[in-house]
Chain A
Amino acid sequence: MSAASVSVPEDSVAAVAAAPRGRDEGARLGFRLTLPAQVLVLFIAAFPLLMQLYISVTDWGPLGGTGWWSAWRLWNNFANYTDLAADMRFWHALGRTGLVMLICVPAEFLLGLALATLFTGDFPGKRLFYSILLMPMMVVPAVAGYMFFMLFQSGGPVNDILSKFVGHPVTIAWLSDPNLALIAVMIADIWQWTPLMFLILLAGMVGVPEDQMKAATLLGANAWQRFTTIVLPKMKAIIIIALAIRVIENFKIFDTLYIMTGGGPGVATETISVYIYKVTTQDLIWGYVAAIALAILIVLSIVAVFAMKRMVASREVRA
């Protein structure tokens, strides 16, 4: 290495040396300019995260009489994490969250895709239906929760309509049946979030070049073939974005669900968010809460990284 560098001409050494000095100056200016933003990020992201990490290895709670900064006195040797591994209520909540996600997100996706396909064509009343379709998205989730709470009462409209169909009075106790309650919650989620899926997918579908669609038609492709060979491949990136948004959001499902069932009956509809909420407000063991939240953050980050990788890959293909 040293022998080789001796033979390098003088002026090129100078040029190489000059470059980093310029870059240093730029970097210093950049640092100064972004300093306020960095301080802000430090306080809203880095600090809470570190605090959470710190508390998660202690038995600290808000009622213990010690400030969070002296939580080290309550060091519990990673007991929160070992407890978490054995906490069946946690694992069930996680499984339930996954189940809701596996049913709701594909349902919302397929419904959204079908609606988007419908709306790329023309039909009477399109604008009106468009507005109506987007409405659920604008309803505050808590309000949507109350709406569905009412709808699914045993004397509520859902049972009324079912009665009309089957011909005799139906009195299903939707929200107090351990199995049906989860279905009711999923119906509410699909109702509220299909519009978002529809909107994102429609935007993507409108962006599919019309002349390529025409070219495919002229080459003899039928509607289904055009959909699978042109529309879907072109929409790959946007589909991944839409799915990623809904997977992450659905994982955090809370408002609607909490108002409809409160996680009950028993723990039948308890998802991760509801479980964390209960441990936070009822059991008040915040060290444990911090441990759960960190575990979930890691899970979600893995999902996000995977989705981003796929998205970047498919963008490169399109560019």
Chain B
Amino acid sequence: MSAIHLNSLVKRFGDFTALKTMDLEIANGEFMALLGPSGCGKSTTMNMIAGMEEPTSGRILFDGRDMAGVPMGRRGVGFVFQNYAIFTHMTVRENLSYGPRMHGAPKAEIDKRVTAIAGLLQLDGLLDRKADRLSVNILQRVAIGRSAIMEPAIFLLDEPLSNVDAAFRAVMRSELKHLQRQFRQTMVYVTHDQLEAMTMADRIAVMDHGVLQQVGSPLEVYNNPANVFVARFIGSPGMNILKGRPAESDGGLVIDLGPLGVTPALPAELAAALRRHDGDVLYGFRPEQASLVREGRGLSMAVTFVERIGARTILHLGEGEGAVKVVTDNDARVTVGETLIVIPDMGSVRIFDAATGRAIGGR
């Protein structure tokens, strides 16, 4: 086990900056997910931690020890590749014993370690099978076992579930989480799938365009997004964002959304923070945290599309910049073209600066 510190890490490939600057502390034994769309720099960060790529500047520390110049084979890092990179010309046993064999461990010790790890990962009966005809969950276990046998301080996983079909992902997620509890290693998990990050990680580092956007527990990131990108990226569908300007009214501070009308009054705490702020703002609320009525005070919008996903129905309302989504019951009787009143739950409303995208009055 080992803590990881990334100090002003920068990576450029020629003119392209993959990682602008990254400061991140990952605690001992923590499961940290690096989450972001493709090209956000998450894999680059991971490759630098593993030593596959050299940082352009900045430092990587494992328990305070600078890793600059330490080759990738000597960092005590276990790496699980996106496609597992199993040695297909070997048996499962040969795959598992690869690391110790390359380090010249005595045969008796190798056998002992292989037996132990195979028992842990339930690979006992498969040891002498060729590794080229294994199912994907066994491949995952072999990949983890092959790294785990080296007892690495840190485990890095590069989108290990992206090649797995959706139905099987849930199984793999719980298996992976279970394995992490067993090994108690520091784990860094790169993914573009928020569901994987949300369900498995202790903390999530959300990244975009080579910049770290927010670090926090899954619920923190969901409830209190630091900026508009995180608000839109986390959640499915993401947070609704509408442009407007603050205005005083009888009930307190509201946001004037122009043609869409005026929002319900903001909570006192948020209103107080907003009164200290100048200029246009972005009004955000979660699609799951809004109610729909036919009559009342709220945002009056026309239904443009009814998306039924079984358990719930996602209503698309409004058009262009004023489009929002609202999640409602599966049997909602709504027709396209109908006009409804959207009332965001008071507690779920978040306000962002229109110019910088940063959250205002965040907790």
Contact = CB atoms under 8 A, between A and B. Distances in A.
Interface of A: 209, 211-212, 214-222, 225, 229-230, 233-234, 317-319
Contacts of B130: 317
Interface in B58-110: 72-74, 77-79, 81-83, 85-90, 98-99, 102-103
17 contacts: A209-B85, A211-B81, A211-B82, A211-B85, A214-B79, A214-B81, A214-B85, A216-B87, A216-B98, A217-B72, A217-B73, A219-B102, A219-B146, A219-B147, A229-B102, A233-B90, A318-B132
B102 A214 contact: no
B219 interface: no
Interface string B35-53: 0000000000000001010
Contact of A218 (B72, B86, B89): B72
Contacts of B103: 220
Nearest to B82: A211
B205 to A, nearest CB: 22
Contact of B73 (A211, A220, A234): A220
Contacts of A234: 89
Given A225-B102, A229-B98, A319-B132, A218 B87 contact: no
Contacts of B102: 216, 219-222, 225, 229
Interface of B: 50, 52, 72-74, 77-79, 81-83, 85-90, 98-99, 102-103, 130, 132, 146-147, 150
Given A220-B99, A319-B132, A233 B150 contact: no
Contacts of A220: 73-74, 99, 102-103, 150
Contacts of B81: 211, 214-215
Of B73, B78, B130, which is in contact with the most chain A CB atoms at under 10 Å from its CB?
B73
Nearest to B152: A218
Contact of B89 (A211, A214, A217, A318): A318
Contacts of B150: 219-220
B162 to A, nearest CB: 14
Contacts of A222: 73, 102
A318 B87 CA distance: 10
Contacts of A215: 79, 81, 85, 87, 146
A305 B176 CA distance: 48
Nearest to A220: B73
A260 B112 CA distance: 63
A218 B146 CA distance: 11
A162 B56 CA distance: 50
Contacts of B146: 215, 219
B6 to A, nearest CB: 19
B331 to A, nearest CB: 48
Contacts of A317: 89, 130, 132
Of A214, A217, A218, which is in contact with the most chain B CB atoms at under 10 Å from its CB?
A218
Given A218-B52, A218-B73, A220-B74, 10 more contacts: A212-B88, A215-B85, A216-B87, A216-B98, A218-B72, A219-B73, A221-B98, A229-B87, A230-B87, A317-B130
A319 B133 CA distance: 9
A211 B83 contact: yes
A170 B82 CA distance: 62
A218 B77 contact: yes
Contacts of B87: 212, 215-216, 229-230
B339 to A, nearest CB: 54
The 7 closest A-B pairs by CB, nearest first: A211-B85, A219-B99, A215-B85, A221-B102, A220-B73, A233-B89, A218-B79
Contacts of A318: 88-89, 132
A71 B185 CA distance: 85
A234 B90 CA distance: 10
A229 B94 CA distance: 10
A216 B86 CA distance: 10
A221 B94 CA distance: 14
Nearest to A233: B89
B98 A219 contact: yes
B147 to A, nearest CB: 7
Nearest to A209: B85
A211 B74 CA distance: 18
B50 A218 contact: yes
A221 B102 CA distance: 5
Contacts of A229: 87, 98, 102
A209 B81 CA distance: 12
Contacts of A319: 132
B75 to A, nearest CB: 8
Contacts of B90: 233
